[in-house]
Amino acid sequence: MIPFVNLTAQRNFLRKELEEAEARILNSGNYIGGSEVQNFEKELSLYTGMANSITCASGTDAIELALNALGLRPGDEVIIPDFSFISPAECVYRLGAIPRFADILPDTFLLDPADLMPLITPKTKGIIAVHLFGQTAAMEILHSIAKSHDLWLLGDAAQSFGAKRNNKHCESLANITITSFYPTKPLGAYGDGGALFTNDDILAEKIRKLANHGSKSRYFHELNGKNSRLDALQAAILRVKLEHFDEELKKRQKNAEIYNQFFSQFPDLTIPYIDPENTSTYAQYTLRAKDRNKWLSICDSAEIPTGIYYPRPLSKQPCFMNIERQMKNSGASRACHEVFSLPVCAYTNVEEIIQKIKSVL
């Protein structure tokens, strides 16, 4: 069976560099923090052009740290797209604040700025824009809405590290942007990891403290923080992968183009729409199907793995049942019934996948 994300092929391709980096750390006696993590953070800043890059233990931790740094309090409200991975909503709710779910745009699957306007109340403190599947949300509009209502803007680039909008890195388009280094994300480690990016030095210092038990100098704790750190081994692995990241993004984009050519001939499928202002990292290659079950069984008989991101709107998740809901969010519900994703990583042979699908049609 073809893997959904071919991490073994990536490892084979990068093996020499990875093994050198791994041995360097394992033989060093330093496994947490230190120069490896500092150098990786410097390289992240160089890559994104951001003043501050702060690594931490996961993308979910990064969101929680960001919300803490932005001063989220119990009872506050935060606007979140209804069609997303759960982390942003989960972190807001865990801090005692209330996620308000806005609908998505039908073409890009991204937060619909017009739909979120009626959700703004005096309790609203911020907006979390999820840059889903690899492309950036309409940040100019979201920024002006945030500015006129005195809200902060948090970007979730867990799937879109390296994506650009109008030639700007998506990491630069919010007060804080987070990413995840979960193994199957476009830039993935061999375990959990995450990072936060901000040009605000005061927020950056607060985030660093929060991720380090609320402390800047040892055993003096100014804030109630936590332990959230990327270990040196993951940093070393990510440094190797970051060097090859742009080449990999190009291959992902090429793969998506080949898929687009093939799938655009089927009137019952909609190929991914990338806003002309955006580049996509293609964290997922996501099609819409009028009859999804038909296409899932075609892929199944062709032995092609598929994924459904996501099968249920956040507002309909059992864990959020106690939250009062105002709207139906029909765009999110429709997407949940229609989407399916295909393998698209830099080491996926999409020609082979297309041949296999042709053979069962």
Ligand X SMILES: *Cc1c(COP(=O)(O)O)cnc(C)c1O
Interacting residues with ligand X (CB under 6 A): 58-60, 84-85, 87, 130, 156, 158-159, 180, 182, 192, 194
Q: To the nearest whole angstrom, how small is the minimum distance from the Cβ of residue 68 to ligand X?
A: 16
Q: Which run of H or of E encompasses 165?
A: strand 164-165
Distance CA 49, CA 199 (A): 9
Helix (H, G, I), strand (E, B) or coil at 104: strand
Q: To the nearest whole angstrom, how small is the minimum distance from the Cβ of residue 294 to ligand X?
A: 27
Output 136 or 357, the one with its CB closest to ligand X.
Answer: 136
Output 60 or 329, the one with its CB closest to ligand X.
Answer: 60
C-beta nearest to ligand X: residue: 59
- Provide Rg for the chain, Cα atoms: 20
Output 109 or 263, the one with its CB closest to ligand X.
Answer: 109
Distance CA 4, CA 94 (A): 31
Q: To the nearest whole angstrom, how small is the minimum distance from the Cβ of residue 94 to ligand X?
A: 13
Per the listing, tokens 């003096």 go with: 220
Helix (H, G, I), strand (E, B) or coil at 341: strand
- What are the strands of the beta sheet with 285-289, ordered from one edge? 269-270, 285-289, 339-342
Q: To the nearest whole angstrom, how small is the minimum distance from the Cβ of residue 277 to ligand X?
A: 20
Inter-residue contact 248 to 186 (CB < 8 Å) = yes
Output 283 or 350, the one with its CB closest to ligand X.
Answer: 283
Output 87 or 177, the one with its CB closest to ligand X.
Answer: 87
Output 130 or 357, the one with its CB closest to ligand X.
Answer: 130
Please choose, from the candidates 273, 288, 284, the residue with its C-alpha nearest in 3D space to the C-alpha of residue 348: 284
Distance CA 288, CA 301 (A): 19
Inter-residue contact 95 to 228 (CB < 8 Å) = no
Distance CA 230, CA 339 (A): 33
Q: To the nearest whole angstrom, how small is the minimum distance from the Cβ of residue 356 to ligand X?
A: 27
Output 68 or 84, the one with its CB closest to ligand X.
Answer: 84
Residue 108, judged by CB atoms within 10 A of its CB (0-12, 13-18, 19+), counts as: buried
- As given in the structure block, the two tokens for residue 180 are 């995840």
Q: To the nearest whole angstrom, how small is the minimum distance from the Cβ of residue 46 to ligand X?
A: 22
Q: Which run of H or of E encompasses 255?
A: helix 245-263
Distance CA 60, CA 88 (A): 7
Q: To the nearest whole angstrom, how small is the minimum distance from the Cβ of residue 355 to ligand X?
A: 30
Output 235 or 354, the one with its CB closest to ligand X.
Answer: 235
Q: To the nearest whole angstrom, how small is the minimum distance from the Cβ of residue 128 to ligand X?
A: 9
